[in-house]
Amino acid sequence: MANRPYQPKDRFFKQAKASGLRARSAFKIDEIARRFRIFEKGQTVLDLGAAPGGFLQILLDEVGPKGLVIGVDLAPIRPLNRPNVKTAVADVLDPGFDALLTSLHPGAFDVVVSDLAPKTTGIKDTDEARSLALAGKALEVSLLRGRAGGHFVAKLFMGRDFEAFRGEVRQAYAEVKVVRPEATRGASMEIYLVGLSRKR
Q: How far apart are CA 76 and CA 98, in angstroms?
A: 19
Q: How far apart are CA 54 and CA 4, in angstroms?
A: 23
Is 155 a catalytic site residue?
yes
41: left (phi over 0), alpha (psi -120 to 50) or beta: beta
Residue 142 per-residue DSSP state: H
Q: How far apart are CA 35 and CA 51, in angstroms?
A: 23
Whether 151 contacts 110, CB under 8 Å: yes
Of these residues, 124, 137, 155, 177, which one is catalytic? 155
Complete DSSP assignment for 90-116: --TTSTTHHHHHHHH--S-EEEEEE--
Give the residue numbers annotated as catalytic, written as ranges: 155
